[in-house]
Structure formats: structure tokens, C-alpha cells
Amino acid sequence: MDEDHPVRARDVDTGSNFTRLSALKLRIRERNPVTFFKSPEDLRSHVIEALARLGRELDEIEARDASAESAAQLRRNTSIPEPPAPYVVHPYTLLQLQGLVGRQSEMSALTDWATNSASRAPVFCLVAIGGMGKSALAWIWFNNTAPDVISGLRGRMWWSFYESDSGFNDFVARALCYVSGQAEDLVARLPRQEQEARLLRHLTEAPYLLVLDGLERMLVAYDRIDKNADDDSYRPKIGTVALDLPDVPTNATESFASPHRLRQTIVPRAGAFLQKLTQITKSRILITTRLFPDALQTPNGNPRPGCTAYFIQGLSDDEALALWRALGVTVSPLEFIPIAHATEGHPLVLQAFAGEVANYRKAPGDFSQWRADHPELDPTALPLVQSRTHILDFALQRLSIEVRQVLNLLVGLRAQVSFATLEAVLVGQDKACQSTHELDRALTELEDRGLIRWDRQANSYGVHPIVRSIVWNRLSPNDQQSIFNALAAYL
């Protein structure tokens, strides 16, 4: 502890305790490199900086001790686990809370589908607009419920199409390695069609659970250079089509009945593969997507046999209120219900709003005081799309220039980014942050506001696609180019 760290008199050792403590500190300083901290936050920053430095040193040691060929062989042998151990290729890291608030009916629907052999629907599609919580729901169910309710499960795999290394061909090859036990280099030599046929055969012969998260990234509507697009970008050209189906909410028609061309797979073989998945036995395939794939739809507009479409709607009033309270906001039902209705229970919007209230310096978490001091933000006077953008814009305006620069870089990347990468790009003279401590404070503020998520195990950071799209689309072309230049210089 630094000499300038504030302490209470009762916390200061005297007499023999002081002598022994002084001797201990001296011995530690003689034998070890030490750093002094002036506050709990300062200590946290020192620890993170030291761990990041240790990680870089270990990487350098590994690079020196192993040739490129032996390192590649090691990755092939260890990257794909052996069933029944789960194979999580792209962990979901955007959960703001440890658990899931609400969504019990959706969890029950997933469990009923997975355990009901009479349903004969191996494919289950969770469909909703962005930010509705599809991935979070699937992730919690995949980890906490599926292993207990699916009897005889041979293995389970999580794959996210949101990542940069997550194309259709990569998925088929990795999945085949997992279910067959074959090495990656051997599978890579097989023709694509043979890989698909073998994977389908394994899924028919033994019970596996495969989760395909963010399948809309495989569809034509999202095949564009600007991967930061959101649902609103497509509404003018998608339009809506009237549906005569009992379980499709009105706000889901664009996801389910938009023009077929936009909902076709970028790779035609992928569409044919999805259709074949509806015919497998024993295994279960859970898909999350913003747009319902055309390949899984019959000409009359219904889901193909072997496929169930489940449309997620916003949180109920009780669930939304529980979410705000879990995020540290004190609010009465009378004050909150109009906001829940104005946002249609949209989880991401409600989380961003709660983060703003919970971090209000004058009265943290006190919604009545916050609202009295911010009459300019009234989501109840706007439709959902405008209220969502209005709330997120308001949250972004509260950020300092330095913190905003950190967020801008994060949204410029499609995938998770490590702390070491952020440190290399953002810390230094004439950069957004002058020190690692400043970067840590900026990331902490962004996480507290619900704008980013921190994967503590991997020490990496991610941004929800909706937040990414809103931030990115509000940057000028020059600012966007500056971000690309910074990343190019680093790489």
C-alpha cells in the first residue's frame, strides 16, 4: 500500500505487529518486484496490467520454444475437445448479469422441444429482431439446462456466425471433427460435399446438440461490406407481407415474410444443408436468427416439416421491472410500466437505459431523481425504433471524448478484442489513453453503462451488434477511416 493511501487509525499496526510487518515488507521488496497502490481501483489496474504483461511474456516463451509446425500440430490436437465435453467455438460474452431475468416460457419451450421425441422437429429456430436476447437465452439453456434434460446426449457444440472465422465451410469442418474424432488436417482433405454427408450421418446416428447462433449472417440480407448493419437498415427495402399464421407476432413479419431473395443463404449449398438438417434423427439443432431462412420455409409460407419457428417478443412488465432492479435501479411500477410499453420490453434498450440511471452520479439508481433532472429524454413519446435509438444516443452523449474513442475502436471490429490489442492500439502518446490505467477506467465505465461486455476468462471485450451499428453509423467517413488506419498500423 502506498504511503498516500488513505487509512483509518484503527487499521494501523503498532508495537511488535508494526515491527514484524515492516520486516515482512522489506523482505518482499528485496526479493520481488513490487508496485504500490493508492486505492482499490488503482490496485485493480495494476493487477490487470501485470496479467497482460505476463500473457505477452508467456506468448514469447511459447514462440521461442516451439517451431511453427509443432505449434500448429499442438493446436490441431487440443483445440477440439472429445465428446461428451462441450465444444464452444465462440463463447457468448455479452451477458450483463450472471443469470437470465425472466424468459421462463421460452426456456420451457426449448426444453419441451428437446425432450419431446414425438415432435419430430430436429430444428428449432429462435427468431427475433436484434437485441431481443436470442443469443443470451440460447447460451443459458445450452449450458445450464440442455445437459440435464436431453438424455443420452453424446456431445454439444456452440457456433456463432457473428465471428470473423465462422463461415459455413468452417462450421461443417469443425463440427465433423468434433462428432467424428478425426483430425482437422484429415477432414480438410475431404471434398465439401463429403464433409457435409458425413456430418449428417453422425447427427442421425447419435444424439448431439448443435447451436448455430446468428444464422442471419449467412443470409443475403446481411452479405455486405459494412457488417455493422442493423435490422433498421433493411426495413425500407424488405417491407412487410401479411401472414395468416397463428403464432407469428405482428412485429415478426419482417423476419419471417420478407422477400425470399434476402432470406436465401449466401452459399447455395448452405441452404440445401439446412433443409437436410430437418430430416436427421436423434440430434437437435438450435438456431438463433433475426431473419427466418428461406431454405426452412415451404412455398406457402409455413416452416418446413422438421423445423419449428419460435418468435421471441419483448419482456413482460414484471420481467422488465425485475431486470431494472437487478441492474441496480430503484423505480416504482407506476413510473416504469410506461417505459416498458414504449420500448416494447426490448431487453437491450432497457439495459442501456438502466445503465444510465444506475451510474447517475448525483443519485445512483434513483429513477425519480434521474427523470426529474433529465426531462429531455422521454421514450414514452416515441415508437420503438426511435425510442431505442434515442435512448442509446443519450447514453453515448454522456461519454467523454477519451471513452468514446475506446468505444469507437471496439465497434470497428466484428469479433471480440483482447485487452492486449486495445492496449497496443489505444495507449501511448497522442492516442486515446495516456496509460493503461486510463484504458482500464474507460472500459470499466463502458461496461457499467451496459455498452460493452467483458469476458473475464479470456480478458477480451465485445459489443452487441445493435450498439455497434448505432455507434458506427454515427461516425463520419473520416472517423471510420481513422479507425481502420489505426488497426492497419497495429497489424
Record the cell numbers describing residue 437, joined without a space. Answer: 490505467
Average pLDDT for the chain? 82
| 3-class DSSP assignment, residue 265 | strand
Record the cell numbers describing residue 380, joined without a space. Answer: 414514452
Record the cell numbers describing residue 358, joined without a space. Answer: 444506475
User: What is the mean predicted confidence (pLDDT) over 275-298?
Assistant: 93
- What is the model's pLDDT at position 66? 53
Which pLDDT tens digit goes with each residue over 9-54? Answer: 888 888 888 899 989 998 998 888 889 999 998 899 889 888 888 8
Which pLDDT tens digit goes with each residue over 233-256? Answer: 444 333 333 333 445 555 555 555
Q: Which of 372, 375, 243 lies closest to 309, judged by CA?
A: 243
State yes or no: pLDDT of 73 exceeds 50. Answer: no
d(CA 160, CA 287): 10
- What is the model's pLDDT at position 229? 46
Residues of the chain with pLDDT > 90, as a percent, come to 31
Which pLDDT tens digit goes with each residue over 367-424? Answer: 999 889 888 777 766 655 666 666 777 777 778 888 888 888 888 876 778 888 888 8
| 3-class DSSP assignment, residue 97 | coil
- What is the model's pLDDT at position 383? 59
- Reported as a pLDDT band with limits 50, 70 and 90, residue 68 is very low
Ranking 55-59, 188-192, 392-396 by mean pLDDT, the lowest is 392-396
- What is the model's pLDDT at position 280? 94
State yes or no: pLDDT of 119 exceeds 70. Answer: no
Q: Are strands 453-455 and 208-213 parallel, antiparallel or unpaired?
A: unpaired
Please state, in angstroms and as integers, the Cα–Cα distance from residue 37 to each residue in 42, 53, 262, 280, 438, following that order.
Answer: 6, 18, 56, 59, 15
d(CA 154, CA 179): 9
- What is the model's pLDDT at position 454? 81
- What is the model's pLDDT at position 256? 55
Q: Which helix (H) or strand (E) holds 462?
A: strand 460-462
* Measured distance between the N- and C-terminal CA atoms of the chain, rounded to whole angstroms: 38
User: What is the mean predicted confidence (pLDDT) over 164-193?
Assistant: 90
User: What is the mean predicted confidence (pLDDT) over 87-103?
Assistant: 77
In CATH, which of 3.40.50.2000, 3.30.60.50, 3.40.50.300, 3.40.50.970 is domain 81-311? 3.40.50.300
Q: Where are the domains of the chain?
A: 1-37, 81-311, 317-397
Ranking 138-147, 155-164, 210-219, 369-378 by mean pLDDT, the lowest is 369-378
DSSP code string of 17-86 = HHHHHHHHHHHHHHHS-----SSHHHHHHHHHHHHHHHHHHHHHHHHHHS-HHHHHHHHHHHSSPPTTS-
Q: Which of 243, 245, 241, 217 lies closest to 229, judged by CA?
A: 217
d(CA 204, CA 83): 16
φ/ψ of 158, rounded to 5, equals -115, 125
User: What is the mean predicted confidence (pLDDT) over 285-297?
Assistant: 93
| 3-class DSSP assignment, residue 138 | helix
d(CA 447, CA 351): 11
- What is the model's pLDDT at position 253? 54
**More confidently predicted of 487 and 230:** 487
214 near 201, Cβ under 8 Å?
A: no
- What is the model's pLDDT at position 87? 95
Which pLDDT tens digit goes with each residue over 310-368? Answer: 998 889 999 999 999 988 999 999 989 988 888 888 888 888 888 888 888 889 999 99
